[in-house]
Chain A
Amino acid sequence: MKREPIKVLLVDDEEDFVEMLSLRLETVGEEVTPAHSGEQCLEVLEGKAIDVVILDVKMPGMDGIETLREIKRRFPAVEVILMTGHGTIESAIQGQALGAFDYLLKPADFNELMEKLEAARKKKVEQNR
């Protein structure tokens, strides 16, 4: 039985990072849309069905927390996994209070990322049935 790919929106201002993680996720069969800023992320969400957003916290312009707030306001069905470069738990706690599904520390362990992606998608599917 073929598994349904997870529709991932990957948001990070590090273009190389977005490119390589997208390639990796695509190789295991997921469907990835890249974005390099909070604004771009919201634009994508306007026109495309997305299951899970992987969102970098620290970005120039609109940062991850702000973007998360907007996502949850305008697209509440979409799950968000925060990706933080800090060893700080604070932004993660703040994010979770704002409705993020989970968080990961950069550089993230790929298996952990996959588990969280899977769990986030499951939650989304269950809540929107």
Chain B
Amino acid sequence: MEELRLLLVDDEEHFRQVLAKRLSRRGMAPEQAGSGEECLTLLEKQPMDVVILDVKMPGMDGLEVLRRIKERYEKTEVILLTGYANTQDGVDGIKSGAFDYLSKPVELDHLAGKIKQAHEKILWEADREREAEFREKMEQRMVAAERLASLGTLAAGVAHEINNPLAIINDSVGWMQLLLNKTDMAETPIKGQLEKGLDKIAKSVERAKKITHQLLGFARKGNSVFSEVNLRQLAEEAVQLVQKEASYKEIEFVQEADASLDSIWSDAYQLRQVLINLLTNAIHATGPKGRIKITLQKDGEQAMLSIQDTGQGIPQGDLERIFEPFYSTKPTGEGTGLGLFVTRGIVEKLGGTIEAESRLGEGTAFRIKLPRVHQNHGGLEEDGRTGWLEKVRDMADKPTSPGEKPS
């Protein structure tokens, strides 16, 4: 039980001291106040769980103090001490929100029991509040997930439809560019201007294409193909694929791997995609002659994979948003803002987690944790939560989610 904060308010000093001492002996040492005014002043500085409050006091009487306490400190419970046989005060007090009342002379067992009950009520309500808060948070998260899911479906549909006209624009431009280079066109004075315009169209198609392909990549149906994956080999392959881009900047790759980490059970195709996304980002972030370090470690039931660059780093404010869809810090037209969003989606689908850590001027590290052995169809994370993307897919695919973890 949490520490009980108890306040005893009575104008009769002797009575108060004796009662306080006896309560202390039972492990309920109270703070003390000799008047209603003193009680309220004390509460301002120090919140209390339970107040034992004498009704009959000179100055502000107990019932008035009770009303003010209930007005300002909703959660504080008040036990009234009424004069002998004066039940009317007690009844009035309960109407004003007192937890209960006891008539003097007070029987200690009785009082201690009431204090305990009041305290339990407070704890129970705090629990309920936490639970409600948690439920609300989960609901908000589900709403966000559902919104993202329908956004994903819509976006994929749009992307697919847009690809066809894009292909037509693409080939029309290409054809016109070819025509401009035929000998009979070489003399045209506006050839340069036409070429400029066509070049802009071609570049814009390229840009739109990047977006539609990534959207379709995100909405890809989630049938992961699990097999034994050698992470070391996979990392080497991924490095090979981005090597060319890195060589322009003379970026050096360093790989460090736990000798004990052998193969894991995962989807090689999708993991390769994740590695390529992260390595490409790292190359973009890293200046000439920088270094990108890939670390593979065994961590209990999990494999940890980190990619660390020596780039300019990501400010804290941006770091919180990098996994959001359409969030990009690259110049307009260069980043789609989908790379990390898709990356996180894949990692979570594979039952893993991804996080980023960054220091300005020093670089950024992305850390991925993956189960070494695939746990169950549902893609359970290490703490038992199902990845949100998986959940979204399950909701979209079928009314009930199959393969619940057996209990």
Contacts and interface: CB of A to CB of B under 8 A. Distances in A.
Interface of A: 14, 16-17, 20-21, 23-24, 27-28, 85-90, 105-108, 110
A86 B163 CA distance: 9
Q: Report, as a range, how many residues of chain B touch the other chain.
A: 20 to 34
Contacts of A20: 168, 171-172, 175
Main secondary structure of the interface of B (DSSP, over half): helix
A85 B163 contact: yes
Contacts of A110: 170-171, 174
Given A17-B167, A107-B163, 20 more contacts: A14-B164, A17-B171, A20-B168, A20-B175, A21-B167, A23-B171, A27-B175, A27-B178, A27-B179, A28-B178, A87-B159, A87-B213, A87-B215, A88-B216, A88-B220, A88-B221, A90-B221, A107-B170, A108-B167, A108-B170
A27 B172 CA distance: 12
Contacts of B23: none
Contacts of A85: 160, 163-164, 167
A88 to B, nearest CB: 6
A24 B168 CA distance: 11
Contacts of A88: 216, 220-221
Interface in B205-255: 205, 209, 212-217, 219-221
B84 to A, nearest CB: 84
Which of A16, A87, A110 lies at the interface centre, i.e. has the most chain B CB atoms within 10 A of its CB? A87
B397 to A, nearest CB: 16
Nearest to B159: A87
Given A20-B171, A27-B175, A107-B209, A87 B220 contact: yes
A86 B216 CA distance: 7
Contact of B168 (A14, A27, A86, A105): A14
B166 A107 contact: yes
13 contacts: A14-B167, A16-B168, A21-B171, A27-B175, A27-B178, A87-B212, A88-B216, A88-B221, A89-B269, A90-B221, A107-B163, A107-B205, A108-B170
A105 B269 CA distance: 17
Contacts of A28: 178
